[in-house]
Amino acid sequence: MSVTQQQVLDALARVKTPRGVALTNANVLSPVAVNDGKVFFSINVDAAEARAWESVRAQAESAVRAIPGVATAMIALTAERKPGSAPASRGAPGVAPVSSHRPPHSPAGSPMARQAEIPGIAAIIAVASGKGGVGKSTTALNLALGLRDLGLRVGLLDADIYGPSVPRLTGIREKPELNDERKMIPIERFGLAIMSIGFLVEEDTAMIWRGPMVMSAITQMLRDVAWGTLDVLVVDMPPGTGDAQLTLAQNVPLKGAIIISTPQDLSLIDARRGLAMFKKVNVPVLGIVENMSYFQCPHCGTRSDIFGHGGAHHEAERLGVPFLGEIPLHIAIRETSDAGNPVVVSDPNGPHAAIYRAIAGEIREQLKGVIAAA
């Protein structure tokens, strides 16, 4: 028997808000999405009241889970500080308070000012691309490992909910467990704390997400996961620069973004769109990485600039953003990635690991102030 939206709303009508009214009458619910036994929605409240709402979120979750046929329920509590209200105190369980700290590039009143920091995480950075297939996820994972090699405590959140590839790239097959606070425990692999929507759904399940569900699922993966203390959380964004990506860039408290591009013109045009998107939401672009920059023969090591070369470097200069480095198109990178054993792990002393570490070094340099402050 499939679960209906009405069943979910009926269950939520029995949950009371801190003021004693039915949750469904409190004007705080996002649209409720029900798909194949999976229920997603968010409860949007003023940050000043967030602590009082955590138990409501928990009750709503229990009520939804109790409906026969519900396999998973992802219910996010999102907090927004209303103008003039007092800042929320740190440490409310299940919800990150809105911090008064703002990154230097985010003026008051900008979209960044509305985002709640995640306690324990010094810097969240996005790895984005204008389109799919440019090697964004492979680069995100290897850069996360490069940052780890620099002595940082690093997490990786695969937010590419349309095609999560981190389970394949890391070989992780197990599902995350819940801790006593009912937060998901990220899977620890290669010294990284890793979370992916791909751990929660079957690999072959076609995932069709509509706007609010995207944000709700990602908010939950960000905030209802016991990340612990991290210097950097690398977020592997969904490819492209559409509404879903823009909402994500706007709602995740990002300290910066890295754009992955291949040398072909088309993807550079897409990369420019990525830059424009982050600019719009006042997220500083830490730089562009050119992936599959040149072909390196696996036998003789000879370099061939088969796609033309230097486009991303040139474009970065023109746009005034740092150029972080170039990664060759090499079979070792593809084979190791696709075998769940990334090149920085499988060949830590090899030339490719060195390239990823060098780029990670540039990133660390740019985040130095933020990490040190935390």
Binding status of residue 97 toward ligand ADP by CB under 6 A: no
C-beta of 133: minimal distance to ligand ADP in Å?
A: 5
Binding mask 228-247 for ligand ADP (x = CB under 6 A): -----------x--------
The tally of CA atoms less than 13 A away on the side-chain side of residue 221 is 32
Q: Which of 306, 294, 290 is nearest to 330 (CA)?
A: 294
SS3 359: helix
- Over the Cα atoms of the chain, what is R_g? 21
Our finding on whether 338 is near ligand ADP (CB under 6 A) is: yes
Residue number with CB closer to ligand ADP (131 or 223): 131
Position closest to ligand ADP via CB: 135
| Per-residue contact flags (x/-) with ligand ADP for residues 184 to 223, judged by CB under 6 A | ----------------------------------------
135 makes contact with ligand ADP (CB under 6 A)? yes
3, 281, 329, 360: which one binds ligand ADP (CB under 6 A): 329
Distance of CA 172 to the CA centre of its chain: 18
Helix boundaries (H) for 116-171: 136-149, 166-170
Cβ-based nearer residue to ligand ADP, 60 or 143 = 143
Within 142-171, the residues that bind ligand ADP by CB under 6 A are 165
Token digits for 121? 């995480």
333 binds ligand ADP (CB under 6 A): yes
3-state secondary structure of 235: strand
Asked if residue 129 binds ligand ADP (CB under 6 A), the reply is yes
From the CB of residue 210, how many other CB atoms can be counted at a distance below 10 Å?
11
Identify the residue among 152, 327, 344, 360 touching ligand ADP (CB under 6 A). Answer: 327
Name the residue nearer to ligand ADP (CB basis): 200 or 329: 329
| Among the listed residues 98, 140, 113, the one whose alpha carbon sits nearest the alpha carbon of residue 286 | 140
In the bound state with ligand ADP, the residue whose beta carbon lies nearer, of 63 and 260, is: 260
Instruction: Find out whether 282 and 249 touch, Cβ atoms under 8 Å.
Output: no
Q: Give the residue among 88, 151, 97 at the shortest CA–CA distance from 120.
A: 97
* Rounded Cα gap, residues 83 and 359, in angstroms: 39
Q: How far is the CB of 95 from ligand ADP (least distance, A)?
A: 30
The contact set with ligand ADP (CB under 6 A) reads 129, 132-138, 165, 239, 291-292, 327, 329-330, 333-334, 337-338
